[in-house]
Amino acid sequence: MSRYNISLFTSFICFFSSSIALFSQQKIEQWNRFEFILENTSGKNTFSDNALSATFTHKDTSITIAGFYDGDNRYIIRFMPENTGTWQYKTSSSLAALNNKKGEFQCVKAGVKNHGIVRVSQTYHFKYADSTVYFPLGTTAYAWTHMANDVQEQTLKSLQNSGFNKIRMCVFPKNYELVKEEPSVYPYFIKEVKKDTKGNEVKVWDYTQFNPVFFRHLEKRIDDLQALGIEADLILFHPYDKGRWGFDEMPMEANLNYIKYLVARLASFRNVWWSLANEYDYVKSKTDKDWDTLIKAVTKADPYHHLCSIHGSTAKYFNYQMPEITHTSIQDESPVINWGGAAIVRSIYPKPIIFDEVGYEGNLKSRWGRYSGEEMNHLIWMGLIGGTYVTHGESFMFKDLRDTIFWAKGGKFKGNSWKRAGFIRKIVSETGPLEMADVSRDFKTATNGKGAYLIYFGKEINETWSFNLPHKNASFERPKAGMKYKVEVIDTWDMSVSPVDLVFFTNEPNDYRILDKDNQKVRLPLKPYIALKITEIP
């Protein structure tokens, strides 16, 4: 972790007040974290967001970064450089010990495993800052960082062996049916402990006193995920509190201070995404207008423009047209249960579409948590074929409430769909970004616009497929007579790719379709969840 290395260096910056630090040759990779610590022993320490800032300068670029108080007289400035070359910085503070500290470092080219921050690409897709395609295939473990340490370590091990590259996770602990674990550390210090009318203990938090231990732990876990190549889709608020801690109903001023503090600590973590809420509409203390305010607070505080969205309950769509929102984060199974649904949502929003919750593979009584592995995998493919992205989740409980259920707690995967994540990503990494070839008419054929198609048959069980493609090819050049194609049969459940030993030659377009001139057919395995990959032979 470069963070700790830097800290060793920078912890004595404070002794070189107003001068260029000696270690100006320090090297930081693009999109890694540069950090330094300043000490203030004057006793006037505060978590207030305007205690410290630093301006980083690189040629014509100048970025001002909020610092934050980390407890124990320590203030920290963190910065994620995007451009290579020399960066110089200078602090500003009303506290003399923090003011006018200067230094510089060298930002060097990213290493092979560092692709940078994930950005929106081609309106509907994503890529890393170094232009590597990022196909999001995430899973969900809302409260994993609040579990016992061995469970957290197991979660990381599970993720390491999976194909997932994103995880939805909450900052605050979770109090919900099947998830009752008390966290070992809280985000705030306790002002007092009261008894409610029923005699239960109620903690009263001091919302002006953040607990740095809580945030350092969260940061460690985000760094752990980064080491695994996993994006942390970090949920800032959620409704699963129900009067236990009250983090869902803090005053607006506390919400805004929390956002500033969190963003100051985390914006330099390149694998962080901001998810303002899970099921925002179930958070009864906040209106749509409040969410608007909170979203704007996050994006205003974040100098790097991390991906940012908000998630509602089933079929509850926020106004995702809001410019601060980079992509949709939808809970709705309907668009992936029925043909064509995902593509409709994609036609509506000029943004990447992620269905972040469409139900879970599991064995719960609730219908949201009892899909078969096949169904979960199928729904991911239904999204994929519509040019969108679907997030995985599983909710198996074999023992009792102490059982880990991945959806909330992490731990071990117990289902079968998670094993397909890597396979899906491999298929899509070969085709690149997809969209419907003939939107609103052919609901099964996706094109990459460059001669490759994926056709997904879903639950249809077919014996053969006669070569045929839509003549329309999204907004790309249309196929025409005299082209050559090869076909591979993909079993999305068994994870096999079987090349077909035929070459197909196209005829003239016939009533919106392109057929093989000899009407050649492909034998299919008479199983559900079959897809085809069709590739032009140059």
Instruction: Report the interface residues with a second copy, using CB under 8 A.
Output: 314-317, 319, 321, 332-335, 337-341, 343-345, 347-348, 367, 439-441, 443, 511-512
CB of 511 to a second copy, least distance (A): 8
- Which residue is listed with tokens 């064995």? 363
CB of 386 to a second copy, least distance (A): 10
Residue closer to a second copy (CB basis): 120 or 156 = 120
Residue closer to a second copy (CB basis): 355 or 413 = 355
Nearest to 189 by CA among 285, 328, 47: 47
CB of 296 to a second copy, least distance (A): 17
CB of 445 to a second copy, least distance (A): 13
CB of 380 to a second copy, least distance (A): 17
CA count, 13 A, side-chain hemisphere, 391: 26
Residue closer to a second copy (CB basis): 169 or 385 = 385
CB of 187 to a second copy, least distance (A): 33
CB of 392 to a second copy, least distance (A): 18
User: CB–CB of 52/66 below 8 Å?
Assistant: yes
Residue closer to a second copy (CB basis): 198 or 367 = 367
Integer Cα distance of 416 and 371 in angstroms: 11
Integer Cα distance of 110 and 219 in angstroms: 21
Helix (H) or strand (E) holding 427: helix 421-431
Residue closer to a second copy (CB basis): 341 or 393 = 341
Neighbours of 521 (CB within 10 A): 15
Integer Cα distance of 415 and 406 in angstroms: 10
User: CB–CB of 318/300 below 8 Å?
Assistant: no
CB of 322 to a second copy, least distance (A): 9
Residue closer to a second copy (CB basis): 256 or 344 = 344
317: CB partners within 8 A, 6+ apart? 328, 330, 332
User: CB–CB of 470/445 below 8 Å?
Assistant: yes
- Which residue is listed with tokens 């056709």? 455
CB of 72 to a second copy, least distance (A): 48
Q: How many H-runs (helices) and E-runs (strands) does the chain carry?
A: 10, 33
Integer Cα distance of 144 and 137 in angstroms: 18
Residue closer to a second copy (CB basis): 144 or 349 = 349
Residue closer to a second copy (CB basis): 343 or 397 = 343
CB of 236 to a second copy, least distance (A): 23
Residue closer to a second copy (CB basis): 441 or 459 = 441
Nearest to 81 by CA among 98, 57, 101: 57
Residue closer to a second copy (CB basis): 160 or 334 = 334
CA count, 13 A, side-chain hemisphere, 342: 33
Residue closer to a second copy (CB basis): 341 or 352 = 341
Integer Cα distance of 177 and 220 in angstroms: 28
Q: What angle do CA 400, 406, 410 make, to 5 degrees?
A: 105
CB crowding 278-290: b at 16 or more within 10 Å, else e: bbbbebeebeeee
CB of 516 to a second copy, least distance (A): 21
- Which residue is listed with tokens 């990213």? 110
Q: Which two tokens stand for residue 315?
A: 């079929």
